[in-house]
Amino acid sequence: MNKRYTKKTFVLEVFAILLALIFLVPFYFVIANSLKGFSEILIDAAALPSEWLFSNYVKVWEILDFPRAFFNSLVITVFSNIGLVVISSMAAWKMVRTPGNFSKILFVIFVSAMVIPFQTVMIPLVKLGGMLGIMNSIPGIIIMYFGFGVPLSLFLYHGFVKTVPIEVEESARIDGCSQFGLFWRIVFPLLKPITVTVVILNTLWIWNDYLLPLLVLQDGSLRTIPLATSSFFAQYTKQWDMGLAALVLGITPVVIFFLFLQKHIIKGIASGSIK
């Protein structure tokens, strides 16, 4: 029995390693070709660079004004995350702690919004944004991310809040804690696992998003990293050497961020799914 189990485990581990290598193949192509000249990419995209052209990264840094694009992406991602965490956590807590038909209907409406494709609302969104005067501005796109990100964030918080013992809140109320203090001093610190999960998932989405910034941010000085990178892939121009170097620069911060915090994703989602 032990031998069979050991053999089965070994086979599964080998399969997992092979599967991981398959998923890493695209990363190899991106990184390897970002260090080649354009002609060498066309000759053999799978080979290692004959000459490691780190100058590609220097050129991309200057052409894209990368610090500005990085700053725009960072501001949008950080403030969008702050708003999504605050709005979703408070709303989910209130829905769970005030059970009733209204809370149930409201929760169903938010969850239903998760299945609506962005393409179906993007034209009305642009018209509404123009009427409100929030087009072509970083605060405007942050507000839009609030609207698109709240359903999933609220859904995750809603499941996790159910695991928080209500006795802790009742004790705080007896001690004279206000409603506002009760949430921020008692409840919110207990939501740390799912908060980290929400931040990671929304960061990966917002940082890499292309379509919404394309519709909203028309000014070149407001371009995010995905928008700036797309300039290397115009209709008649395919600068693969520059474009791939720009991709590596763009994904490096978020990959590092994800690797440091990935363990919290499973922990947070698993904790929220108990109920």
Q: 3-state SS of the chain? A: CHHHHHHHHHHHHHHHHHHHHHHHHHHHHHHHHHCCCHHHHHHCCCCCCCCCCCHHHHHHHHHCCHHHHHHHHHHHHHHHHHHHHHHHHHHHHHHHHCCCHHHHHHHHHHHHHHHCCHHHCHHHHHHHHHHHCCCCCHHHHHHHHHHHHHHHHHHHHHHHHCCCCHHHHHHHHHCCCCHHHHHHHHHHHHCHHHHHHHHHHHHHHHHHCCHHHHHHCCCHHHCCHHHHHHCCCCCCCCCHHHHHHHHHHHHHHHHHHHHHHCHHHHHHHHHHCCC
Q: What is the pLDDT of residues 18-48, one digit of tens each?
A: 988 888 888 888 899 999 988 888 888 888 8
Environment class of 94 (CB within 10 Å of its CB; exposed 0-12, middle 13-18, buried 19+) = middle
pTM of the model: 0.85
Three-point CA angle 210, 215, 218, nearest 5°: 100
Question: Which residue in the block uniquely carries the two structure tokens 């928080």?
Answer: 164
Q: What is the pLDDT of residues 213-243, one digit of tens each?
A: 999 998 888 999 999 888 787 755 678 888 8
Mean pLDDT of the chain: 86
**Residue 4 confidence (pLDDT):** 56
| Selected residue with higher pLDDT from 232 and 105 | 105
**Residue 237 confidence (pLDDT):** 65
pLDDT exceeds 90 at position 88: yes
Average pLDDT in the 89-98 region? 92
Three-point CA angle 243, 249, 255, nearest 5°: 125
